[in-house]
Chains A and B, each alone.
Chain A
Amino acid sequence: MADKKMNFFEKMQALDRRYIYLVVALAIIIPLLVPFNSRTYVTEPTENIYKKIDSFTGRNDRAVLLCFDHDASTMAELFPMEVAILRHCFERDIQVFTICFIPAAKPLMDYALQTAKEGYEVQSGIDYVNFGYRPWAIRIPIMLKMGDDISEAVEYDDEGRKLTNLPIMKEIMNYNEMNLIVDFAGSAAVLSWITYARAKFGANVAAGVTAVMAADNYIYLQTGQLTGMLGGLKGAAEYEKLVDVFACHMEPDENGVMQPAPRDFSKEIIKNTWIKMSDIKNRMHKTARIGMNAQTVAHLMIIVFIILGNIGYFISKRKKDKVN
């Protein structure tokens, strides 16, 4: 009986939450199965990381350190950005180091390297080095010691080779050369790099964080303590786009065969470039952008639910006031 008197908005308010889950699930599944091309706008914090990494192109006396500080629970947001940055490094001949301080990050770090390496002839010890897992308890001593000598701080790589014997380490000594640290985390782990590597040694620090943590890190961007930031899936999508537009750019040669033609970052190019999802053959290279399509639809659904919920709330409030 009471049900008959309820109007649409009141019914919406009393709706079983499981219907909402179903609608959100469909809002995600449909755009993933039927992908559409949406424009990815690149923000300045993402641009800054890209430009900094790109400035190390082809240099043996520069390297990027990627620190994996997360487990599988945040993989959906962080893994695409890790793969995108590694691809950028491999494509542009940029020396890259990887390290993790939590056990659960180790397989993800290996998986990211394995995924990004596909299609590149890069060699461990020459183009990149995986420092492997180091216990959290010695995180701060390692950070501090890296300021003097990385080979002493880490000593052996993940394959048990002494760092001093590796060709990649020839011109790399400390933070003067390994001049960018990108920390991927779903926590405030990047703050320790800011405190110990940035404040003490002036190293450039950037963050690849989950969206939950992004708002907390803006204050460090504003003060310049963070060189740049990738915030959640959106940040990953932006970086994927930058890698495709610049580092992995292809142009036809005189025979019309597409050849790699990497180009430098330009705001004009990025503004006018539209990449079709169907043009990118490897799904791992567009995961974040496809995900952002679904994200857009899901956000629209949530906005509609919030509006309906609010209208329903005010209608039932007015009804109650009238009765009283």
Chain B
Amino acid sequence: MSFEVISNFIAAFFTLSIFSFLYKDNPFYKFAEAVFIGVSMGYAIPLIYQDTFIPFVYRPIFVEYKFLILIPALTGSLYIFRFSKNLGWLSRYPIAFSMGIVGMGVPLSMHSYVLVQMRSAMLPVDNINTALIFIGTVTILLYFFFSKEHKGVYGKVTNIGIWFMMVGFGASFGYTVMARISLLIGRIQFLLGDWLGLMK
């Protein structure tokens, strides 16, 4: 029996074990769930050791003698003190450093997520698409203005905003249904094709 056949059998067993939850909770499902978590962690730990610790910590310090690396390495190790009640405060230093890195992205994020988006919302209203963008943007912004009661003409305008949002949520939900069905299709393709060989 080839390795591929054995691995397909194992994968099929775990797929069916997970699917069995659709009928009701059972030991097969629980077993498959636990194995998945264990395997994921078991795979990640040596990979991170090999591709992170060795090239970024061990090799620079112990092979290339770049002792400056000790500073970030030791700072990073302070994370472990999260588990200590008395020394937990030490873990705030690497967290503060990470927050600083996040701060580095603020100007670029402002550009991508705010300025460019605003510029694209300020197009000349010369076709149906830009007209819809204009009406949608304005009415939704007005909907989220809570200092005025949504009544009368103002209420009708904000209602249009709700309609726009509902269309957006509908599109998102439709896509979500498609995604979930796709995942099921992927598994059934595996069971029928790779495992049972019924698909051509």
Binding site for B on A (CB under 8 A): 18, 21, 24-25, 28-29, 32-33, 71, 73-77, 79, 103-104, 106, 132-135, 137-138, 140, 156, 191, 194-196, 198-200, 210-212, 214-216, 219, 222-225, 231-234, 283, 287, 290-291, 294-295, 298-299, 302
Contacts and interface: CB of A to CB of B under 8 A. Distances in A.
Nearest to B178: A211
A196 B51 contact: no
B38 interface: no
A41 to B, nearest CB: 15
Contacts of A196: 105, 108
A214 B113 CA distance: 17
Interface string B3-34: 00000000000000000001100000000000
23 contacts: A18-B22, A21-B22, A25-B188, A32-B188, A33-B198, A73-B183, A74-B183, A76-B182, A104-B40, A106-B47, A132-B51, A135-B48, A140-B101, A140-B104, A195-B108, A212-B179, A223-B116, A223-B117, A231-B175, A283-B199, A294-B185, A298-B184, A302-B181
Contacts of A140: 101, 104-105
Given A104-B44, A223-B117, A233-B182, A287 B175 contact: no
B171 interface: yes
A74 B111 CA distance: 30
Interface string B110-143: 0111001101100000000000010000000000
A138 to B, nearest CB: 8
A100 to B, nearest CB: 10
B85 interface: no
B198 A77 contact: no
Contacts of B44: 103-104
The range of chain B's interface size is 35 or more
Contact of B179 (A198, A225, A232, A290): A232
A32 B199 contact: yes
A18 to B, nearest CB: 6
A198 B44 CA distance: 30
B52 to A, nearest CB: 4
A28 to B, nearest CB: 5
Contacts of A135: 48, 51-52, 56
A214 B192 contact: no
Contacts of B168: 215
B77 interface: no
Q: DSSP class of B's interface residues: helix, strand, loop or mixed?
A: helix
A224 to B, nearest CB: 8
B175 A211 contact: yes
A32 B22 contact: no
A196 B105 CA distance: 8
B175 A232 contact: yes
A195 B109 CA distance: 6
Contacts of A137: 52
B200 A219 contact: no
A299 B133 CA distance: 29
Given A75-B186, A103-B43, A283-B193, A33 B199 contact: yes
B36 to A, nearest CB: 9
Given A103-B47, A104-B43, A195-B108, A77 B175 contact: no
A1 B9 CA distance: 47
Given A210-B179, A215-B171, A302-B181, 4 more contacts: A32-B189, A140-B101, A211-B176, A294-B185
A194 B116 CA distance: 11
A27 to B, nearest CB: 9
Nearest to B43: A103
Contacts of B133: 222
B33 to A, nearest CB: 13
Contacts of B56: 135, 138
Given A18-B23, A32-B199, A215-B171, A290 B189 contact: yes
A283 B192 CA distance: 12
A207 B119 CA distance: 22
A225 B117 CA distance: 9
Contacts of B189: 32, 76, 287, 290-291
Give the top 4 A-B pairs by smallest Cβ distance, nearest first.
A76-B186, A211-B179, A223-B120, A103-B44
B187 interface: yes
A32 to B, nearest CB: 6
Contacts of B185: 28, 32, 76, 233, 291, 294-295, 298
Interface string B45-63: 0011001100110000000
Nearest to B123: A222
A295 B182 contact: yes
B105 A195 contact: yes
